[in-house]
Structure 1
Amino acid sequence: MVKPILITTGEPAGIGVDITLMAAMRKLPHPVVAIGNKTLLAARASQLDIPVQLSDYSNQHDAHIPGNLSVIDLALNAQVEAGQLNVKNANYVMHMLQYAGKAVLKQQFSALITCPVQKSILSESGQHFSGHTEFFADLCGVKSIVMMLANPQLKVALMTTHLPINQVASNLSKAMIIEKVCIINHDLKTQFGITSPRILLCGLNPHAGENGHLGCEEIEIINPAAEALRTQFGIDISDALPADTVFTASYREKADVIVSMFHDQGLPVIKALGFGHCTNITLGLPIIRTSVDHGTALSLAGSGKASDESLFETILLTKQLIDNHAKAI
């Protein structure tokens, strides 16, 4: 029996609502179910002139029919105006994420796709929320996870995620790099079907430290971790490479994934290569969790100018991950 993919519609004032409705109009390779407020979805569909037929989800697992969308209906805390944030709906967003994560953990759905939330409004409400990646790690009881973005040209995985730049170096350790690279290697095999992943490591410092003249993290932390990964775990991984050259075509062609030491070292590159065509994947979870590569885009919500291309690409990739995972178990 094919279990649907569950899609969280995200910040109610943002474009997550819009793109979920738009994607439902497409021919999709796997059934999908949206979680959010059904009345909001209907109102936004009317505003955008999207002729989608909404229905309450009833545990049926039929193939997706373009123009139809099953919904798990959640109550809003306040009325929603597209593009206008309301802190009163922060609890609605958190409830959505908790409900969705638990439902996928219970194997009621085959995978989870998340549309963007507004972190600032969640923080303003008093919620501790640094990102979907960390949220689902906590929900699943997993201590170590990896954030990775993928498009047809490149995969970029991160050693650290949502940290201020002045905290990155102090958060790197040999043990952490070994643990996260093992997760990357494992999930590239099980979710992406790559038999022997080739992994390239970015250095932290300019020119990968220039033999210690521009920083010692490569000598003291990154390269010893890479050596241990090669000798003790049999993983095909490079030593630290200069980040200003490792993303060039000659390196990308030889790599299944490039591992960045911090968020804004690798993500600007992959988004420049294919913004709107990237998928964010959380590796190391007991569930398949993916998301779009963009934010809430409040100025576009309800305007008809948002694109669902990233969500569509994410659905396509998620279907591949589901199929590959089924083959691996």
Structure 2
Amino acid sequence: MTRAIAVSCGDPSGIGPEIAIAAWNLRTKLGLPPFFLIADTALLTARSQLTGQFCPVEACTPEDAAAIFERALPVVPLKHAFRDDPGVPLAGNAAGIIESIERAVGLTLQGKARAVVTCPISKKPLYEAGFAFPGHTEFLAHLAQAHLGRPVTPVMMLAGPLLRAVPVTIHIALREVPAVLTSAMIVETARITGAALRSEFAIARPRLAIAGLNPHAGEGGSMGSEDESIVRPAVEALSAEGWSVQGPLPADTMFHPAARETYDAAICMYHDQALIPAKTLGFDDSVNVTLGLPFVRTSPDHGTAFGIAGKGIAKADSFIAALRLADQLAGNREAAA
């Protein structure tokens, strides 16, 4: 049985439905792997008509999705219907958004789907409906933990053709980073990244570059002590474990072409240190990958784009890249098993 990729619909008021429709219309031209959407079939049909994109929609089971993919967009119907209001995030749609994520993960863990690709969500309407997680990644880790019966540490990677970048701290204020950052966090993030580079990216001996926290990686302590007291001990510990690792490196010289040739992933100390170079080097084709989960999860590297939802102008490039990478990583993981 050919297993399709499970795609959670994201916030239906955003561009998630449109990029899925656009990708399906390009399936033959681009040779895309089969996928199915967990969504409201009526909303998808209405959105394809609103945006002028021809797209037959066919309700299905996960097992039938790959066979249907060539003739129609396969959709596993939600139990919760959506209110179709492009550009207007609604707390009333939260139950269906959450259901879509839960079912995509569940079907993949059951072996009925090849991987998970998540369309963008907006946190505010979810919070208004009582959603208790900071975002997608934390919710996915919760679902994985419930399945495995043990704690799971998710690691965020931005993966593009020119750079793979991983932030150690993510959605916290910049002023909080020095107080939160520890050597143990850096080591754990690097270990998970290295293991994923082996099993999912098929890199036999991953090379890791560890960024410093301060300008010039602290310049020997003259621009902050954290690089010597926190980052360097982590690098030394990783080296002692046998990892190919370098650092702490000045972040302002880590991302030019010659530097990127020396490593397979950059471990960065905070959100923008990783995401600014990643998005600059591959804004349309970088993919958000969650490492450390018992299933492959990728996502387009953009948000819900409520401002252009329903206008038929959303670009599907990052979603298509997420589909392709999910298919590749799932194949590598299966081969390594």
Q: TM-score, normalised by structure 2?
A: 0.93
Aligned residue among 136, 143, 151 for 1:139: 143
SS in 2 for 1:310: helix
Which residue identity is paired with 1:128?
Answer: A
1:97 is aligned to 101
Which deviates further from its counterpart, 35-44 or 51-60? 51-60
1:130 partnered with 2:138 = no
How much has 1:43 moved relative to structure 2?
A: 0.5
Separation in 1 of the partners of 2:70 and 2:173? 43
1:190 partnered with 2:199 = yes
**Equivalences, count:** 328
Which deviates further from its counterpart, 313-322 or 184-193? 313-322
SS in 2 for 1:213: coil
Which deviates further from its counterpart, 147-156 or 57-66? 57-66
Percent of matched pairs sharing the same residue: 37
Separation in 2 of the partners of 1:239 and 1:254? 12
RMSD: 1.5
Which residue identity is paired with 2:259?
Answer: Y
Preserved contact between residue 36 and residue 76 of structure 2 (Cα < 8 Å): yes
Aligned ranges for residues 1-329 of structure 1 at < 5 Å?
1-27=1-27, 28-58=31-61, 59-60=63-64, 62=66, 65-66=69-70, 68-76=72-80, 79-141=83-145, 142-231=151-240, 233-329=241-337
Separation in 2 of the partners of 1:165 and 1:318? 31
SS in 2 for 1:60: helix
What 5-or-longer segments of structure 1 have no aligned partner? none
Which deviates further from its counterpart, 255-264 or 20-29? 20-29
Separation in 1 of the partners of 2:170 and 2:60? 34
How much has 1:170 moved relative to structure 2?
A: 2.2
What 5-or-longer segments of structure 2 have no aligned partner? 146-150
Which deviates further from its counterpart, 303-312 or 77-86? 77-86
**1:33-71 per-position Cα deviation (integer Å, ceiling 9, x unaligned):** 101111111100111122212111222253574452111
SS in 1 for 2:210: strand
Preserved contact between residue 25 and residue 67 of structure 1 (Cα < 8 Å): no
How much has 1:122 moved relative to structure 2?
A: 1.5
How much has 1:209 moved relative to structure 2?
A: 1.3
How much has 1:250 moved relative to structure 2?
A: 1.8
SS in 2 for 1:130: coil
